[in-house]
């Protein structure tokens, strides 16, 4: 698997250290609120697990499933809902957690969908934000890392459903992406 990688962008220690800071910000914000964390499947699972271990406050956890990238590195445009929210979030403080804010299309849609369910507050938290002019004007409240506009894998992020289990974030070698 390592042979497929070009360079490591964010190392394991760097990620874990940043999560300490981010969790502290979230603790201050939510400790006296009624937090429901909504993870966006599947890319956010590693981020959520590491983040919530550091957040010793009362909270609920649910997941929403959407699929937008169909096995490639370019967006398909369509967003398919693959898992609905199970918990009632009306009057709760909702924090949506996702792996990456790329064009913003996915989080824009999710924000509107959850907003219609009547939460008391609604904020967004992403592991990565790409440094590009975003097509959608969606306010992202918490960002762990800002990265250049490159396709990355690891720490939950996939290329064709692979590499999610890497504990760091890396770019792929061109040959791997080019194999079609």
Does residue number 43 form part of the binding site for Mg ion (CB under 5 A)? yes
Catalytic residue among 78, 102, 137, 158, which? 102
What kind and span of H or E run contains 99? strand 93-101
> To which residue do tokens 């800071």 refer?
21
> Is the separation of the CB atoms in 92 and 36 below 8 Å?
yes
Using the rule CB under 5 A, give the single segment among 15-23, 35-43, 46-54, 148-156 that binds Mg ion.
35-43
Q: What sections of 5-94 are H helices per DSSP?
A: 12-30, 45-52
Instruction: Report the C-alpha dihedral over residues 116, 136, 63, 80, rounded to 10 degrees.
Output: 90
- Give the one entry of Mg ion, ligand IMP, none that residue 23 binds, where binding means its C-beta sits below a cut-off of 5 to 8 angstroms depending on kind: none
Report residue 134 as tokens: 């975003």
Tell me the closest approach of the beta carbon of residue 47 to Mg ion, in angstroms.
11
Tell me the closest approach of the beta carbon of residue 56 to ligand IMP, in angstroms.
28
Q: Find the length of the chain.
A: 180
Nearer to ligand IMP, 18 or 109 (CB): 109
- Give the one entry of ligand IMP, Mg ion, none that residue 29 binds, where binding means its C-beta sits below a cut-off of 5 to 8 angstroms depending on kind: none
Helix (H, G, I), strand (E, B) or coil at 98: strand
* 6 included as an active-site residue: no
Tell me the closest approach of the beta carbon of residue 43 to Mg ion, in angstroms.
4
Nearer to Mg ion, 30 or 127 (CB): 127
> Is the separation of the CB atoms in 39 and 64 below 8 Å?
yes
Report residue 176 as tokens: 């791997």
Using the rule CB under 5 A, give the single segment among 5-13, 42-50, 133-141, 146-154 that binds Mg ion.
42-50
- Which residues contribute to the site for ligand IMP (CB under 6 A)? 43, 68-69, 75, 98-106, 151-153, 157-158
Catalytic residues: 102
């Amino acid at each position: 698997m390592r042979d497929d990688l070009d360079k490591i962008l964010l190392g394991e220690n760097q990620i874990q250290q940043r999560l300490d800071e981010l969790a502290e910000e979230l603790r201050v914000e939510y400790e006296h609120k009624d937090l429901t964390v909504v993870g966006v499947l599947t890319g956010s699972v590693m981020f959520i697990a590491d983040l919530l271990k550091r957040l010793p406050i009362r909270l609920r956890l649910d997941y929403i499933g959407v699929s937008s990238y169909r096995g490639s590195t370019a967006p398909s445009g369509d967003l398919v809902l693959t898992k609905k929210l199970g918990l009632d979030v009306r009057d709760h403080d909702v924090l949506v957690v996702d792996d990456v804010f790329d064009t913003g299309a996915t989080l824009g849609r999710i924000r509107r969908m959850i907003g219609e369910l009547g939460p008391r507050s609604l904020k967004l938290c992403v592991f990565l934000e790409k440094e590009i002019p975003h097509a959608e004007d969606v306010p992202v409240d918490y960002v762990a890392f800002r990265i250049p506009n490159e396709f990355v894998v690891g720490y939950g992020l996939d290329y064709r459903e692979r590499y999610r289990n890497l504990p760091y974030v890396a770019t792929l070698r061109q040959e791997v992406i080019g194999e079609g």
